[in-house]
Each structure stands twice: as C-alpha cells, then as structure tokens.
Amino acid sequence: MKWATRRHCHIDRAACAWLIRRFLDQEAEFVFVDDPEELPPDATPFDMRGVELSHHGGDCSFETFLRRYELDDPVLWDIARIVHEADVDDERYDAPEALGFDVALRGLSMVVDDDRLVALTGPLFDGLYELRKRALMLGREPA
C-alpha cells in the first residue's frame, strides 16, 4: 500500500512510518510531499492537516494511529508517551526520554532525506520497543 505524508519528517512521522511497516503493512511504500495538493490519489495520507490519521484533540498522529487501528499493545502506548512529548511537548506525559529523541531526530533530519530517515529510525524504534517491553515486563529498567 502507498502511504503519504509531509516532507521533512520529525519524530511523529518517523514513528508512524515505523508503526505502519511493523504492525499494519509490511510492504508499505512512503511518499513525501510538500503540499496536500500533491497527494497521490491512491495513497493513504497521515500526519497532514485535514486528514483522519493526524493530530486530533491534543493527540499526535502516532496516538491517532493506535486508536484508529485499535492497537492496544501497552508497549506501543508507552512509546506514544515519548513520541507525544518529543512532538507536542505539552507535558501531558512524563517522558524524560523525549528530549533525547527530539534532538537525535532533529539532527538526523538535517543530514539525510526522508527515505533514509525512515530507514535509519526503523531499528531505533525496534530497539525502543524491545527495551520498553522488557521494562514493562520486569516492572523496572532492564540492564
């Protein structure tokens, strides 16, 4: 399937792309556009103004994906806490990790294009998923 979002990805779009590839559509193909007018008609848009899979009622797009696709995995909601704070920064959640993710993704976005950013952040989110899964199972930070 084709998925489309705005160019110059930051954490919310990178996290959504990872979520799509890992949990919704392994064959996902991403298109990055400057303007909603450029959206390919066969693509599902996300994290853009006026589309369903976007910010809603204070939620960032990653949270909207989890709600719309009924992904109730607590590990994903734990990651959503970090993505939300790194993206919206409104102190809705306690997410000290958000600061680090924010600078890492912002720095990366200055030196690579969006395709590469999505490719590079995939393993990063895989690792975060693994770490938070173990932390939730153990009830404390894993070694």
Q: Kindly tell me which of 4 and 128 has the beta carbon lying closer to another protein.
A: 4
- The minimum distance between CB 140 and another protein, in angstroms, equals 22
Q: Quick one: which of 50, 94, 140, 143 contacts another protein (CB under 8 A)?
A: 50
Q: Kindly tell me which of 107 and 123 has the beta carbon lying closer to another protein.
A: 107
Stretch that binds another protein, among 16-24, 73-81, 102-110, 124-132 (CB under 8 A): 102-110
Identify whether the C-beta of residue 47 lies closer than 8 Å to the C-beta of residue 8: no
Task: Give the strands of the sheet with 29-33, arranged side by side.
Answer: 29-33, 2-6, 43-45
d(CA 67, CA 77): 10
Q: Kindly tell me which of 75 and 102 has the beta carbon lying closer to another protein.
A: 102
Could you tell me where the beta strands, DSSP code E, fall in the chain?
2-6, 29-33, 43-45
Q: How many residues does the chain have?
A: 143
Q: Quick one: which of 40, 74, 100, 123 contacts another protein (CB under 8 A)?
A: 40
Q: Kindly tell me which of 8 and 130 has the beta carbon lying closer to another protein.
A: 8
Closest CA to 63 of 22, 28, 16, 21: 16
Closest CA to 19 of 118, 108, 100, 115: 118
Q: Does 7 contact another protein by CB under 8 A?
A: yes
For another protein, the binding residues (CB under 8 A) are 7-8, 10, 33-35, 37-41, 49-50, 54-55, 57, 89-90, 99, 106, 109-110
